[in-house]
Chain A
Amino acid sequence: MSSNIYDFSTLTGSIHAWLSGLMSTGWVTFTEMVLVGLAFLLMYALLGLFLVYAERKVCAFMQNRVGPNRVGPYGIIQTIADLIKLLMKELIPIRKSDPLLFNLAPFIVIICSFLALAALPYAKGLQAIDFNIGVFYVMAVSSLSVVGILIAGWSSNSKYSLIGAMRSGAQIVSYELSVGLSLLAIVVFAGTMQLSGIVESQADGWWIFKGHIPAVISFIIFLIASTAEINRGPFDLAEAESELTAGFHTEYSGIKFAFFFLAEYMNMFIVAALGATVFLGGWMPFHVGHWEGFNNIMDYIPSVVWFFSKTFFLIWVIMWFKWTFPRLRIDQLLTLEWKYLLPISLFNIVFIAFIVLMGWHF
């Protein structure tokens, strides 16, 4: 293992040592939790704002348009202006809605996306919690957001919302399987569910290159299924703008709508980050086998840059999907999952197990 990559654990360790000198162990833990929470809040807000802006610019370029260009240079302050607008808008109470659930739903959705952020490795040594079941944990919490969507649809007392929520339920429950199986493929390769362990195992090459064709197949399946899982086009049936006006968040206004909106973008970031970590090596620079010189040069690019560039590349691909394809119908969506993705990923995982058993992978 080369030592050129900066290890953030030295920084976090020195902060820990400094705090330990100031206060007792309990307070140190408390202060560190507050600091990490604040850091995540800041990152969440910044990423959300950036992703909304990026989406608008990307779709504008794909559609031969200019995109936001009025607020600030190249329109970079546009999303902040939108955020201020959303904050100032009235929160409209819906008659005969279920007020508790109606107000709770946006928080459930946004908390789920928050939870998943904790386990992702952003750089070497920069990870809030390194679960030994990291992949499983991220999958579990990110799929919890369907509960919030179902609650939102049910409590809004709107038929459009209800149909949207029910669609979303069917969709996420079935696509969860394919996401899980495609991630499991790499878990079989790496032999661990720990995200940091999976990243370390890619030090001599990313799994998408090391894992032969089965890894590529499971990467494609992961991209398709995770796009469906985060309710983005062409699988945005839950909000299906032309059919259900806005689906499950039809009745939400102001900052509550902004929560759904933000959570959608953060979920996109989470699946892209997970895909980048598992298939494309996470923060691990581009390494080829035993080319020590080449690997050392690659190590000079900081690991944070590697992680975020891979993540944003995947986000761009997901956006590319959305701005190219028409929306699927609900039965076609389920056909795609149960007749194509699931059998293929099942065969794929058996194949991978065979490869690993024979030791054919690099």
Chain B
Amino acid sequence: MNSILEYFADIFKGISSLWAGMRITGKYFFSPGEIVTQQYPENRATLKMEDRFKGEVIMPHDENNLHACTGCGICEMNCPNGSIEIITDRVANAEGKMERVIDKHIYHLSMCTFCELCIKTCPSNALAWGQKFEHAVFDRSKLTKVLNQPGSKLRKEAK
């Protein structure tokens, strides 16, 4: 007799547990609540990435096309993947002394692992994170970027 009772109790318990699950999915079917899916290409205008978002490494330039990179090469040294190459030049400054300036700050986005060591270790805070994340290109060579803008100069701090 006990086993028969158990048999029916099992059926009842089973059905009630299944119904509990169906209530959850049924509830969301009729009232979805918060939908976390983002309508990506449509929301591009309103899509705001976080300030700290690691999209790519950029070198901020001010309105006079000046940057802060002295070409010391610490970022190149600290990069674990060799994604940064710095080509420096020596030019004479106003006082006639030879001075090191960057010719090209080359950044291989394709090799970057976004570890933030270059930005962290830069002594003159010349590098920063950019919020751009749409990096898909058809040609890999397009992922090699020159960070300093053409004609840009080192920002001279007032001594």
Query: Do A's and B's CB atoms come within 8 Å in the complex?
Result: yes
Q: B26: which A residues are within 8 A, CB to CB? A: 62, 320
Quick one: which of A66, A321, A323, A324 has the most chain B CB within 10 A? A324
Can you list, as one digit per residue, whether each of B5-42 has a CB less than 8 Å from chain A (1) or not (0)? 00000010000001001101110110011111101000
A interface: dominant SS: loop
Main secondary structure of the interface of B (DSSP, over half): helix
* A320-353 at interface with B (beta carbon < 8 Å): 320-321, 323-325, 340
Q: Which of B11, B25, B36, B39 has the most CB of A within 10 A?
A: B25
Chain A residues closer than 8 Å to B34, beta-carbon distance: 64
When the two chains form the complex, which single residue of B21, B35, B39 contacts A325, counting CB atoms closer than 8 Å?
B21
CB pair A64–B35 under 8 Å, yes or no, is yes
Given A66-B35, A66-B37: A61 and B22 interface contact (C-beta under 8 Å)? no
Which residues of B lie under 8 Å from residue A325 when comparing CB positions? 18, 21
CA distance A62 to B21 in the complex (A): 12
- Shortest A324–chain B CB gap in Å is 5
B32, closest chain A residue (CB) = A64
Residues of B within 8 A of A (CB-CB), count: 16
Q: Which single residue of chain B is at the shortest CB-CB distance from A326?
A: B21
A244 interfacial by beta-carbon distance below 8 Å:
no
Contact (Cβ within 8 A) A62 B35: no
Contact yes or no, A320 B22, CB < 8 A = yes
Using a CB-CB cutoff of 8 Å, which residues 91-113 of chain B contact chain A? none
- A62 engages B18 (CB within 8 Å): no
A340–B18 CA distance with the chains assembled, in angstroms: 16
> With the chains together, A340 CA to B32 CA distance in Å?
35
A61-B21 CB under 8 A given contacts A66-B37, A340-B11: no
Residues of B within 8 A of A62 (CB): 25-26, 28-29
A 53-69 contacts with B by CB, 8 A: 58, 61-66, 69
Select which of B11, B32, B36 is within 8 A of A61 by beta carbon. B32
Residues on B with C-beta less than 8 A from A320 are 22, 25-26, 29
Closest Cβ–Cβ distance, residue A54 to chain B (whole Å): 12
Chain A proximity mask over B115-155: 1 for CB below 8 Å, otherwise 0: 00000000000000000000000000000000000000000
B22 and A324 within 8 A (CB): yes
The CA-CA distance from A321 to B18 in the complex, in Å, is 9
Tell me the bound Cα distance from A316 to B86 in angstroms: 63
Q: How far is the CB of A53 from chain B (nearest CB, A)?
A: 16
Which residues of A sit under 8 angstroms from B18, Cβ to Cβ? 324-325
**Chain A residues near B29 (CB, 8 Å)?**
58, 61-62, 320
CB distance from A253 to the nearest CB of B (A): 28
A66: B residues at CB distance < 8 A? 35, 37, 39
Q: Which residue of B lies closest to A61 (CB)?
A: B29
Which residues of B in the span 15-71 have a Cβ within 8 Å of any Cβ on A?
18, 21-22, 24-26, 28-29, 32-37, 39
B25 engages A324 (CB within 8 Å): yes
Residues of A within 8 A of B36 (CB): 64
CB-CB < 8 A to B25: which residues of A? 62-63, 320, 323-324
User: Which residues of A pack against B, CB within 8 Å?
Assistant: 58, 61-66, 69, 320-321, 323-325, 340
Q: A61-B28, A61-B32, A69-B39 are in contact. List 9 more A-B contacts (CB 8 A).
A: A62-B28, A64-B28, A64-B32, A66-B37, A320-B22, A320-B26, A324-B18, A324-B21, A324-B24
| Contact surface of B with A, Cβ cutoff 8 Å | 11, 18, 21-22, 24-26, 28-29, 32-37, 39
Q: Across chains A and B, which 10 residue pairs bring their CB atoms closest together, nearest first?
A: A62-B25, A324-B25, A62-B29, A324-B21, A61-B29, A66-B37, A324-B22, A64-B32, A64-B28, A62-B28
- In the assembled complex, 27 residue pairs joining A and B whose CB atoms fall closer than 8 Å, in A order, are A61-B28, A61-B29, A61-B32, A62-B25, A62-B26, A62-B29, A63-B25, A64-B28, A64-B33, A64-B34, A64-B35, A64-B36, A65-B35, A65-B37, A66-B35, A66-B37, A66-B39, A69-B39, A320-B25, A320-B29, A323-B25, A324-B21, A324-B22, A324-B24, A324-B25, A325-B18, A325-B21
